[in-house]
Amino acid sequence: MGRWEPNARGRLEQAALELYVERGYEQTPVAEITKRAGLTERTFFRHFADKREVLFAGSGRLEELCVGAVAAAPPTATPMEAVAAALDAAAGAFEERGELVRLRQGVIDANAELRERELIKLASLSGALADALRDRGVDELAARLAAEAAIGVLKVAFGRWIDQGQERPLQPLLSECFDVLRTLSVRGADAG
Amino acid sequence: MGRWEPNARGRLEQAALELYVERGYEQTPVAEITKRAGLTERTFFRHFADKREVLFAGSGRLEELCVGAVAAAPPTATPMEAVAAALDAAAGAFEERGELVRLRQGVIDANAELRERELIKLASLSGALADALRDRGVDELAARLAAEAAIGVLKVAFGRWIDQGQERPLQPLLSECFDVLRTLSVRGADAG
C-alpha cells in the first residue's frame, strides 16, 4: 500500500478544492492536485477513484450520519423532529469542515454537471431519510414527505449559511427554516 | 416551412415515447421516430432540437402554468395555498396528457442522465415558484421554503399517481400530501 503519509486524504482534498476554485474543475488534472499536495498520483488514487470523487466522497458518510441520527431520535419524536435531528448531525459535520465546505460549494455551483450530481446525491439522501423514518414505524407517505421537506430545508438553510459567509452557525438557520415551514399554511403569518 | 402536417408534434411525441419505452432511449435514432410517425426528419427538427427535447419540451410550459397559478391565487391565500394552486394547475395538464405522462416517466426512470435532467428541471421549477411567491409579497425565506415543499409534494404525489396506474386523479393525491405535510410536526399523528 506504499508509505503512510500524514493526513494524505485531507491534504489532497484541500489542494484539489483550491485548484478547482482557482483554475476551474475541468481545467485541473490530478497531476496538479498531487503536485500541490506534495503527494504521488498513486496516493491520490488510493483515496479517490477520480477527481470528481474528491467532491462527493463525503456524501456516503453524510448519509450514514443522517440515518443514524433519525434512528437515534427519541421514540416520541415526530417525523419532523427526527429529520431535524438528522440535519443537526449534518450541520455539525459541515461546521467541522469549515472553509472546505464553502470551497466545495463554489466549485459545484460553477459547473452544471456537478450541480446535477449534487441533486442526485440529495435525492439519494431523501430516500435514505425516508427509509430510516419507515424503520421507526412512520407510514410510507409521511416518511417520504418528511424526507423531502428535510431536503428542502437543508437546501435553503445551507444556501443561506454559505451566502452569509458562514458567520452564523448552520444549526439555528436549520431550526429557523423548520419554524418558518410550519407557518406557511397559517394565514397572515407570511407576507413580508 | 414545408407542408402542414396535422398534429405533427403530438404524433412525433407519441412515436418517440413508444420507441423510447420499447427499445430504450439511447437506442432510438430520430430516423426511427419519424418513420413511426410517418413524418420527415425535417419536420421533427422543426418541433424539437433533439431527441431529448421530446421529453423536456413541456417543462417550460409547465413552469409558466405554475407561475401563472401562483400569481392568480387570491390575495388572502397562504404561501402553501398559492403553491397548491400551482400544483393543481400542473395536475390538470398531466391529466390531459394521460398515458403520455406515464410513458415519459418510464423512460426517465430508466436512464440516469435523464433522471439528472429531470431533477434540474424540478430545481428550476422550485426557483420559479419562489420568484412568483416573492412577487406576491411573501418574504424570501418563506418563498423558498414553500417552493421546496411544493416540489417535495409534487415528487411524492406524482410518484404515487404513476405507481397506482393513474387510477385515482392526481389532484386529490396532491391535497392529501399537503394535508399530511401539515401533520408531520404533530406528536402522535404520524406513526403508521
Interchain contact A109–B (C-beta under 8 A): no
What is the DSSP secondary-structure string of B47-114? H-SSTTHHHHTHHHHHHHHHHHHHHHS-TT--HHHHHHHHHHHHHHHHHHHTHHHHHHHHHHHT-HHH
pLDDT of residue B2: 54
My answer on whether A114 and A179 are in the same domain is yes
Please state, in angstroms and as integers, the Cα–Cα distance from residue B59 to each residue in B87, B90, B128, following that order.
13, 10, 12
Range of the domain at A151: 57-183
**Poorest-confidence range of A143-147, A148-152, A164-168, B3-7?**
B3-7
Which residues are paired to B191 by β-bridges? A138
**Cell numbers 434540474: residue:** B120
Please state, in angstroms and as integers, the Cα–Cα distance from residue B92 to each residue in A103, B26, B53, B82, following that order.
43, 30, 22, 16
CB-CB under 8 Å, B117 with A180: no
Read off φ and ψ for residue B169, nearest 5 degrees. -65, 155
User: What are the grid coordinates assigned to B85, written together?
Assistant: 394552486
Report the pLDDT averaged over residues B42-70: 95
**Cα–Cα distance between A150 and A126 in angstroms, integer?**
8
Interchain contact B152–A (C-beta under 8 A): yes
For a pLDDT cut of 70, what percent of chain A falls above it? 95
Contacts of A50 (CB under 8 A, 6+ apart): A30
My answer on whether A111 and A28 are in the same domain is no
pLDDT of residue A185: 79
Interchain contact A141–B (C-beta under 8 A): yes
My answer on whether B46 and B75 are in the same domain is no
Q: Report the residue from A136, A156, A185 with minimal CB separation from B78.
A: A185
Does a structural domain hold residue A99? yes
ipTM of the complex model: 0.88
Interchain contact B138–A (C-beta under 8 A): yes
Could you read off the pLDDT of A125-138 as tens digits, one per residue? 999 999 999 999 99
Angle CA(B10)–CA(B15)–CA(B21) in degrees, nearest 5? 125
**Cα–Cα distance between B31 and B53 in angstroms, integer?**
15
Confidence of residue B188 (pLDDT cuts 50, 70, 90): low
Angle CA(B173)–CA(B175)–CA(B180) in degrees, nearest 5? 95
My answer on whether B102 and B39 are in the same domain is no
- Integer-rounded Cα Rg, in Å, for chain A is 19
**Cα–Cα distance between A26 and B120 in angstroms, integer?**
20
How many beta-carbon pairs under 8 angstroms link A with B?
A: 124
Give the nearest chain A residue to B116 (CA atoms).
Answer: A116
My answer on whether A139 and A176 are in the same domain is yes
Distance from CA of B111 to the nearest CA of A (A): 13
Amino acid at B16: A
Report how many domains make up chain A.
2
CB count within 10 Å of CB A90 equals 22
User: What are the grid coordinates assigned to A26, written together?
Assistant: 475541468
Does a structural domain hold residue B18? yes
Confidence of residue B69 (pLDDT cuts 50, 70, 90): very high
**Cα–Cα distance between A175 and B126 in angstroms, integer?**
21
CB-CB under 8 Å, B146 with A184: yes
Query: Is the Cα dihedral B94, B99, B104, B107 positive or negative?
Result: positive
My answer on whether A24 and A104 are in the same domain is no
Does a structural domain hold residue B192? no
The residue ranking higher by pLDDT, B119 or A192, is B119
Does a structural domain hold residue A1? no
Interchain contact B186–A (C-beta under 8 A): yes
pLDDT of residue A167: 87
Does a structural domain hold residue A162? yes
pLDDT of residue B189: 46
Please state, in angstroms and as integers, the Cα–Cα distance from residue B183 to each residue in A144, A147, B61, following that order.
13, 14, 32
CB-CB under 8 Å, B182 with A141: no
Q: Report the residue from B76, B123, B155 with minimal CB separation from A148.
A: B155
pLDDT of residue A6: 78
Give the nearest chain A residue to B112 (CA atoms).
Answer: A120
My answer on whether B34 and B129 are in the same domain is no
pLDDT value at A165 more than 70: yes
Read off φ and ψ for residue A191, nearest 5 degrees. -60, 145
How many CA atoms lie less than 13 Å away from A124 in the CB half-sphere? 15
CB B134 within 8 A of CB B191: no
Does a structural domain hold residue A163? yes
Q: Report the residue from A78, A159, A160 with minimal CB separation from B186.
A: A78
Does a structural domain hold residue B189? no
Does a structural domain hold residue A123? yes
Interchain contact A79–B (C-beta under 8 A): yes
The domain boundary, picked from A34, A53, A72, lies at A53
pLDDT of residue B185: 79
My answer on whether B132 and B175 are in the same domain is yes
My answer on whether A96 and A138 are in the same domain is yes
Q: Report the residue from B146, B151, B185 with minimal CB separation from A80.
A: B185
Residues of B whose CB is below 8 A from A108? none
CB A138 within 8 A of CB A79: yes
CB-CB under 8 Å, B76 with A187: yes
My answer on whether A39 and A74 are in the same domain is no
**Cell numbers 402542414: residue:** B4
Confidence of residue A70 (pLDDT cuts 50, 70, 90): very high
pLDDT value at A4 more than 90: no
**Cα–Cα distance between A112 and A93 in angstroms, integer?**
25
Could you read off the pLDDT of B98-142 as tens digits, one per residue? 889 999 999 999 999 999 999 999 999 999 999 999 999 999 999
Could you read off the pLDDT of B1-38 as tens digits, one per residue? 456 677 999 999 999 999 999 999 999 999 999 999 99
Do you know the residue count of chain B? 192
- Please provide the average confidence, as pLDDT, over all residues in chain B: 92
Could you read off the pLDDT of B157-182 as tens digits, one per residue? 999 999 988 889 999 999 999 999 99
pLDDT value at A122 more than 90: yes
**Cell numbers 428550476: residue:** B124
Angle at which helices A140-163 and B170-183 pack, to 10 degrees? 70
My answer on whether B100 and B158 are in the same domain is yes
My answer on whether B65 and B49 are in the same domain is no
Q: For residue A169, give the CATH number of its domain.
A: 1.10.357.10
Q: For residue A12, give the CATH number of its domain.
A: 1.10.10.60
Distance from CA of B181 to the nearest CA of A (A): 6
User: What are the grid coordinates assigned to A61, written together?
Assistant: 458518510
Residues of B whose CB is below 8 A from A156? 141, 144-145, 148
